[in-house]
Structure 1
């Protein structure tokens, strides 16, 4: 807990034992977002989210913040890092918040982080919608430059062509994005493991999950109790996924015969392994 000079509660951080244990296995890539509860309570709920071996979102710690400045984020990140035995994540996904960016540079200097790609693309209509050719080629050409560029060189060339073609040299928003291209353009981020994530959608899906447990009149104490209930539900879902993965055959996702053949080989291999283990045990 972080108290002000008058002893009043300012910021709170907590992580349970299961979150700390999960971080040992799934702490390579973390998403961090502070949008949840802000509009309802006036204080942001700040969860650290990872992804487990079932592709499920998992909570790796959380905080309730009184402010969203660099000092507050530095405090939160340091508390979280200390709780996780000083092991910083290898990669982190956040929004474009400047205070958050500064705090990451201070607390996680070796962590590679990126901006949420979806939030940037979502701003295209707002920032460029007034352009006469926005729906007549500009939007498509920008998306092509971003999605179809496999190297930084290809992106540089495509981006330059778009800027010249639509006379966007004076657009300050695009200029600022270009200056920070290494933080969000896919071509610059391919050398880093992101566990299939490029956005803070994991954080947002976790926020939606908590909607079933908290509401606008929830007190701080009730929030913590409901938080524990939500975590228990998450544990149940993960346990169920563990059971299903060990007792069910993974269905094919295509109609190709090679996938069906691979599925049969895996099933037979697992069966043979089990039989050999049984024989070995009986021989002992």
Structure 2
């Protein structure tokens, strides 16, 4: 009998299972059809064999996983079968090569761009099947099918450790990584220190930089959830001390804090007097937690900034912005401002149109100007400052007719006919250019110089290291 025949018989030792492992195990057209065959006998490396017994399915999995690691691949749990042939009363389980099966192609989506990731699956049919039995009334699991054929190259020992199944971070290493993170060192530095501590060569830790980054991200999410609980508790405590303190929040389907907004009694009083013109600045984030932050600000009769309210959002979309504006109006007893200045954000623009239909919406000129270096520096080169001076001249013109003529001349003079940012600015001119806004009251906040005072005021509330619960106290 040929060696290949032995392999085939071994793969289907159970006469009740003379069939292919799975209909989706056909080889990929992109992969080589040459098969890698492993030796079935070795004194040093025990090989699974039909009839081999295990006290549990987990013990069988660990045995096969260790065999796979030595050979240069990893395994995963596949399907189960029960007495009814489906899964009821588990009687049979399959473990397969990590490259088994084929990933079905996703239908192209017009709404969302698809990332073209190549799948590692190539229809490999290497597997081990175990079945449940009882000897003398004691349940056990035995191997009833085993195939060693691989239609892909196997990894060398120094490569196999990079497979996800064999990358692990021990509890002691997690504690060290957490300690390193608190000192502020980079992930690369963490890896170098751990390599030195463990006396291993660079790149030979049982985990990668990506694993460390994923760990830190998961820890940060837990910290954020803890901060959310602390923030709600603090808001309730402030409400107990000051019944005029106002806050509102939403939670997600898992009961975790999603959005929260708050305002103080003094802020509500200030808004009653100075709330005709409002800036809603949503361009900041709490860096430590990657949360979008919105702050409502106005100016008093001395031109000094005053705080009206604050909101932390889970996402920057129409639903979140609509909720934030509703919460703000609720704090302010339903009074909408005459005018509101914001950054250029289509979702926010739509939300203002829905929640504040009578309010004049305009764009903060200083938030627009802040983007000019990235938009025009490379395009205009040495003429950038000259163009910027001309832009400010146009911005401060008295009439829209003069603006239209001046804008056309500026585009011609600087050869900006095809520049998309210039086209976008022109399309939005009624929302930012003073010739179109002079009939509306903005309390002087359309002046570029006002940005320094308002931004300095907002920075008082921001700190990358501030915990969210402390943030509300400021």
Shared fold, TM over 0.5: yes
Matched, 1:75 2:323: yes
C-alpha deviations, 1:192-212, integer Å up to 9, x for none? Answer: 11111116835422222235x
Going by fraction, where is helix more abundant, 1 or 2? 1
Secondary structure of 2:315's counterpart equals coil
Relative distance call for 1:217 and 1:39 in structure 2 (3 A) is closer
Name which of 424, 427, 450 aligns with 1:179: 427
C-alpha deviations, 1:44-71, integer Å up to 9, x for none? Answer: 2321111112322111111111111111
Q: Aligned-pair distance for 1:137?
A: 4.3
Structure 2 gaps, min length 5: 1-248
**Which one has a bigger Cα radius of gyration?**
2
Q: Aligned-pair distance for 1:132?
A: 5.6
Aligned counterparts, 1:133-212, within 5 A: 134-135=383-384, 137-147=386-396, 149-198=397-446, 201=451, 203-211=454-462
Q: 1:52 — aligned with what? A: 300
Relative distance call for 1:137 and 1:17 in structure 2 (3 A) is closer
Query: Which one scores higher on RCO, CA 8 angstroms, separation ≥ 6?
Result: 1
Secondary structure of 1:161's counterpart equals helix
Measure the CA separation in 2 of the matches of 1:69 and 1:21: 30
Aligned counterparts, 1:31-50, within 5 A: 31-50=279-298
Relative distance call for 1:173 and 1:193 in structure 2 (3 A) is same
C-alpha deviations, 1:247-281, integer Å up to 9, x for none? Answer: xxxxxxxxxxxxxxxxxxxxxxxxxxxxxxxxxxx
Relative distance call for 1:163 and 1:59 in structure 2 (3 A) is same
Q: 2:34 — aligned with what? A: none
Given that 2:322 and 2:355 are in contact with CA atoms closer than 8 Å, whether structure 1 keeps it comes out as yes
Given that 1:15 and 1:60 are in contact with CA atoms closer than 8 Å, whether structure 2 keeps it comes out as yes
Measure the CA separation in 2 of the matches of 1:72 and 1:121: 26
Measure the CA separation in 2 of the matches of 1:83 and 1:18: 12
Q: Aligned-pair distance for 1:39?
A: 2.7
Number of residue-to-residue matches in the alignment: 222
C-alpha deviations, 1:84-132, integer Å up to 9, x for none? Answer: 1111000111111222111111111111121111222233332222236
Aligned counterparts, 1:245-256, within 5 A: none
RMSD: 2.1
Q: 1:223 — aligned with what? A: 471
Name which of 341, 365, 368 aligns with 1:117: 365
Measure the CA separation in 2 of the matches of 1:47 and 1:183: 20
Going by fraction, where is strand more abundant, 1 or 2? 2
Given that 1:36 and 1:207 are in contact with CA atoms closer than 8 Å, whether structure 2 keeps it comes out as no
Matched, 1:87 2:318: no
When normalised by structure 1's length, the TM-score is: 0.72
Q: 2:380 — aligned with what? A: 131
When normalised by structure 2's length, the TM-score is: 0.44
Q: Aligned-pair distance for 1:77?
A: 0.3
Quick check: 150-159 or 160-169, which moved more?
160-169
